[in-house]
Chains A and B, each alone.
Chain A
Amino acid sequence: MLVLQRAAGALFIVALSASLRGAPLQNLVTSADAIVVGDVQSRIESGSNTSFQLNVQRVLTGSPPSVVPISHDWGTTGSLSVPEAVAFQAYGIWFLKHNPVSGSWDVLRAQAKGKNLFASLYYPLSPAAATSITVQGPPNTVVEPLAMALIQSAVNASGSPEFVLDALGSTDSPAVRTALRDLLANGSSRSRAVAMAALLVRGDDGAAASLESVWPTISGVAEVADVVAALRDYYRSTTSQGIGALIGIAQSAAVPAAVRQAAVWALKSIHTQGTLPFLASLLDSDDGSLRLAGAIGIAAFVNGCPAQGPSNMPSLAFLKCAGTQWATAETKAHFIFKASTPADEAAQEAFWKTWWLANQAAIVPH
């Protein structure tokens, strides 16, 4: 019996499944013919397929039978070449796809984590959260209740609640924000970290403003890496509150250097007019990485570059700049957007320091 397997197999499943693997909640709800709460007690698993009976406890959408036989191909060339029985109870939300020709049912893969793992086929859910889901209206209205249930499940999740972060995707609403804030206030340390990351991704200024005070309660868990990543790569608020929160984090002694650096990175990437005084102050820092961040941010503003964020990462649109009233041949010649050689960095930093002194009054009137 061979049960050692590395996930993420090399082969594609059928086109439909391939396109949906790891899709967050919104896509799953759109694609599923039925959404149910149910459990699986055991399964047969091989390198290319898993089959099991899903006991439906609650139908959220669609009309599946009460016991759904599932045969799910996952196309791995992994090591489970000999089918084996696995006894393990799996309880949660399942997204089902019906084949109208054969009459059979399959499951849509719910989670990106663990590509060829049975655990990726559903979202684990607490029984209390399962009963709390209220479905009214057409299937697309189930997204928010499901999101709320997942967030509620995360409060007391025994394992990592990180899957909630990915499941929510871009799902956002006042109710979701409230639920995430509740999780941030009342969840376990791991759940609080996930909630903080989710709120930062949504540009929640209040969450950013509270990061410094929340930090001691989340600093010891693995999910804190998600918080740092969310702050650095996703939080792009341009409000005065948001920028003020970032500046506060960047200057805080209560958070580690990695968090301060993430805040500086975010400010550099945002580089709106409101960030400039802080970015300019970095030009006087003894820390070369901070001086560079200051120069990069000011140069991006003056040369009219869009803010950098996940949405324009593939297109690199943040490097396709349109200029501003302050852009000149000289500012273009001193455009710097990444680390280079020490001499070059020093030259650019000196230029932008001089430039700022000459132009700050016009940009940030007192």
Chain B
Amino acid sequence: MKGVFSTVVAAGLLTCTALWSQCTDQTTLENITDNVIRTGGNQVFSFSQSYVTGDYADVWTVYAAAQITLNGNALHSGSDTEDSGNTAEVYWYDALSTTGPGTFAEADQHRFTNPCGTNDYYTYNDRSLTVSKPTLTGPNNTTSAAFWYLNGAPSIDGYYVQWGPFTANPNWPGQNPTVTWSTDTPGKLMLTVDPSTLTATATSTGASSNNSGTYDIHITVSLDGFNSDPFPIYIDTPYGMTTSIAGDSCSSISRPDPGYVTDVSHGIYDLIGYTLVPITTNESLEKIQLINGYSSNNSNWNLNIAQGVWDPGDWITVPSKFIDNLWACGSLTPTPQSYNESGTNAVVNETQKFWVGSSSQFSGTCTQRGVVTLFTDHGAVTPYYTPITNQGDCAQGTVLN
């Protein structure tokens, strides 16, 4: 009988024909044990044993040998011979993190001899174990993921800064192992794990590198060091802006002349270069001041300028952009003139920064900073800097005028 772990291959009463008058009786058993079993999340144990039990066990010589293959390739080979009732055995512990997954197969040989002339030899090759890596899948069984980082601002307008659930499958049937979650980029991604459901949710705490052409953040699940394939993630972020300026008359905004309107159109693009569809964006305005010799004594241009928030409804959807209108119309001092982008008589300037993904000032991802200047005959945004590669450049109080 050959069981899962143990095989009794012979039993009986044999006749001694040499120096020994007797080598066996009804208690004498030849035993074989062999198998390949998984003994831990990261461990496979393969072994082969030969031994004799019962009366006369100590007169036997036993031999055990085995060859272990992984996916058909030799992994281990060895043999052992024992007497005096000892067990001949060969065994190996393999770390799956070292060997990798696949099918472990065992071929084993066993010999039992005694002085009475017995020479029993057995071979087997029916032990095998197939091990799969733990796996990690995203929502709807996706194999990659991408979501947003808005410089710490929460999800808004369909731009999600969290993604999940990611689901771990230990691929170890019948077991309930401890699954460990990790990321190779802990500075940019935080995992919230639910051990009871083997799921986790990822929250962005940073954006992917602009120098990476592909998914550069990964999460992995591990069974005592036996890891899943890294699950690729890209964390996108608003990155820069396209800005264009067009001039018009006051009548274009239903106001009487004299004066001008400068429409400043802003589009936003991401790390990849794709144009964002409408997303709540706000501006911060700092150091609003009269310049060029103008003061409250010779100017009534207002410095109480509204700071804008453009929610999706304030965007032009085709093409995707929002417009910052700079205008001066009516009886002002100094008197505004018709649009002329070459004019040089500046009256007011300010530092302007755009923050994407939030309606709160200085919150969201800063994508552009610059100086807005209102001349008597046009508005201008110059200089301006985009993309913003260091969010610290937009810190409150950092002005450009």
Nearest to B331 among chain A residues (CB) is A1
Interface pairs (13), CB distance under 8 Å:
A3-B331, A8-B314, A9-B306, A22-B315, A79-B305, A86-B256, A112-B322, A113-B323, A117-B325, A222-B246, A336-B213, A338-B214, A339-B213
* A230 with B318: CB separation less than 8 A: yes
Contacts of A345 in B (CB 8 A): 213
Contacts of B244 in A (CB 8 A): 225
Decide yes or no whether A103 CB sits under 8 A from chain B: no
The interface-forming segment of A279-287, A310-318, A358-366 is: A310-318
Within 8 A of A (CB), among B317-350: 317-332, 348
Nearest to B372 among chain A residues (CB) is A6
Decide yes or no whether A291 CB sits under 8 A from chain B: no
Decide yes or no whether A275 CB sits under 8 A from chain B: no
Contacts of A322 in B (CB 8 A): 142-143
A130 to B374, CA, bound (A): 37
The interface-forming segment of A13-21, A65-73, A138-146 is: A13-21
* A4 with B332: CB separation less than 8 A: yes
Q: With A114-B253, A119-B255, A316-B146 given, can you name 10 additional A-B contacts, CB distance below 8 Å?
A: A3-B255, A7-B323, A8-B308, A10-B306, A24-B317, A88-B251, A113-B325, A117-B254, A229-B319, A338-B214
- Mask for A322-336, Cβ within 8 A of B = 1, else 0? 110000000000011
- Known A-B contacts A310-B277, A314-B158, A348-B213; A234 and B308 likewise in contact (beta carbons under 8 Å): no
A353 smallest CB distance to B (angstroms): 16
Decide yes or no whether B234 CB sits under 8 A from chain A: yes
Within 8 A of B (CB), among A16-75: 18-24, 47
- Mask for A161-187, Cβ within 8 A of B = 1, else 0? 010011011000000000000000000
B211 smallest CB distance to A (angstroms): 6
* B144 with A320: CB separation less than 8 A: yes
- Mask for A66-108, Cβ within 8 A of B = 1, else 0? 0000000000111101001011101000000000000000000
7 cross-chain pairs, A with B, having the tightest CB-CB distances, nearest first: A340-B213, A8-B308, A229-B319, A79-B302, A314-B158, A319-B146, A7-B325
Interface size on B (CB < 8 Å)? 76
- A interface SS class: loop
* B146 with A233: CB separation less than 8 A: no
B154 smallest CB distance to A (angstroms): 14
* A319 with B234: CB separation less than 8 A: yes
* A6 with B211: CB separation less than 8 A: no
Within 8 A of B (CB), among A216-239: 222, 225-226, 229-230, 232-234
Within 8 A of A (CB), among B141-162: 142-148, 157-160
- Known A-B contacts A3-B332, A197-B319, A316-B147; A19 and B313 likewise in contact (beta carbons under 8 Å): yes
* A4 with B320: CB separation less than 8 A: no
A123 smallest CB distance to B (angstroms): 12
Nearest to B374 among chain A residues (CB) is A4
* A88 with B254: CB separation less than 8 A: yes
Nearest to A230 among chain B residues (CB) is B319
Contacts of A78 in B (CB 8 A): 304-306
Decide yes or no whether B311 CB sits under 8 A from chain A: yes
* B317 with A169: CB separation less than 8 A: yes
Decide yes or no whether A308 CB sits under 8 A from chain B: yes
Contacts of A162 in B (CB 8 A): 316
From B144, B277, B279, contact of A321 by CB (8 A)? B144
B280 smallest CB distance to A (angstroms): 11
Nearest to B252 among chain A residues (CB) is A159
* B213 with A5: CB separation less than 8 A: no
- Mask for B293-315, Cβ within 8 A of A = 1, else 0? 00000001110111111110111
A162 to B317, CA, bound (A): 11
Decide yes or no whether B271 CB sits under 8 A from chain A: yes
From A5, A314, A320, contact of B305 by CB (8 A)? A5
Within 8 A of B (CB), among A297-313: 308, 310, 313
Nearest to B308 among chain A residues (CB) is A8
Nearest to B244 among chain A residues (CB) is A225
B160, B255, B315, B321 — most chain A CB neighbours (10 Å):
B255
- Known A-B contacts A4-B332, A338-B271; A21 and B254 likewise in contact (beta carbons under 8 Å): no
- Known A-B contacts A8-B324, A159-B248, A341-B211; A320 and B308 likewise in contact (beta carbons under 8 Å): no
* A112 with B302: CB separation less than 8 A: no
Decide yes or no whether A201 CB sits under 8 A from chain B: yes
A201 to B313, CA, bound (A): 19
Decide yes or no whether A273 CB sits under 8 A from chain B: no
Decide yes or no whether B236 CB sits under 8 A from chain A: yes
- Known A-B contacts A3-B328, A197-B319; A112 and B253 likewise in contact (beta carbons under 8 Å): no
Contacts of B267 in A (CB 8 A): 229
A77 to B308, CA, bound (A): 10
Contacts of A335 in B (CB 8 A): 214-215
* A1 with B306: CB separation less than 8 A: no
Contacts of A340 in B (CB 8 A): 211-214
Contacts of A225 in B (CB 8 A): 244, 265, 319
* A160 with B252: CB separation less than 8 A: yes
A172 smallest CB distance to B (angstroms): 12
Decide yes or no whether B395 CB sits under 8 A from chain A: no
* B215 with A8: CB separation less than 8 A: no
Contacts of A234 in B (CB 8 A): 318-319
A350 to B273, CA, bound (A): 23
From B248, B274, B327, contact of A160 by CB (8 A)? B248
Contacts of A159 in B (CB 8 A): 248-249, 251-252
Decide yes or no whether A2 CB sits under 8 A from chain B: yes
* A4 with B142: CB separation less than 8 A: no
Contacts of A316 in B (CB 8 A): 146-148, 234, 236
B246 smallest CB distance to A (angstroms): 5
* B307 with A320: CB separation less than 8 A: no
- Known A-B contacts A225-B244, A314-B157, A338-B273; A319 and B144 likewise in contact (beta carbons under 8 Å): yes
Nearest to A315 among chain B residues (CB) is B158
From A7, A112, A313, contact of B315 by CB (8 A)? A112
From B160, B272, B318, B331, contact of A169 by CB (8 A)? B318
Nearest to B236 among chain A residues (CB) is A316
- Known A-B contacts A79-B302, A314-B159, A316-B146; A112 and B211 likewise in contact (beta carbons under 8 Å): no
B253 smallest CB distance to A (angstroms): 4
Contacts of A169 in B (CB 8 A): 317-318
Contacts of A113 in B (CB 8 A): 263, 316, 323, 325
B224 smallest CB distance to A (angstroms): 25
Contacts of A6 in B (CB 8 A): 305-306, 308, 324-327
Decide yes or no whether A192 CB sits under 8 A from chain B: no
